[in-house]
Structure 1
Amino acid sequence: AMIGAVGDDDFGRALVGNLARRGVDSRFVRVAPGAGSGMSVAIFDAGGDYGAVIVSGSNLTLGEKDIAAATEVVAQTAVLLLLQNEVPEAANIAA
């Protein structure tokens, strides 16, 4: 299952479509009107050190209410909770 936010753009629709094709429960992926979908591009230097270029977009609209709405899903999948830290800290803490 995934909890998140995508923009009301082509990229957001493609992301949600990909989740559906892969059987991921995306009931709690909210479309953020007027926001572009967020993305992150991984970069590595010659020594192999990792960095990222982050364009937050709709990710910054994710909040405690989104997590609260998905409490049942979080409780059912508590075996593993992956936090990407590209959303507001309050959302990560609530999860």
Structure 2
Amino acid sequence: ADEEALRALLDTLPGGAPLRTVVHAGGVLDDATIGTASGERVRRVLRARAGAALALHRATAALDLDAFVLFSSLGGTLGTAGQATYAPGHAVLDALATA
């Protein structure tokens, strides 16, 4: 989710082998029910899920990619027991995938 570090990494890619595919599968293990999902826990999970995906999207938006793959879940739409910290991140990934 560190856009500056991500851009620095992308700048190291050789010109003869351009980036063609981005796969975002990042996450943080922090299961919680709604009653135990503190703001800090949700922020931590959102940074890894949504923050990293948005940083990847912004950093690669001008590139001619063949694929931009996001691993999400129906948890953002349907909800999943014990996964209250993940639902907002899944919803962001779903929205980004349709943008």
* TM-score (ref. length: structure 2): 0.29
* TM-score (ref. length: structure 1): 0.29
Richer in strand (by share): 1
Q: Which has the higher contact order (CA 8 A, sep 6+)?
A: 2
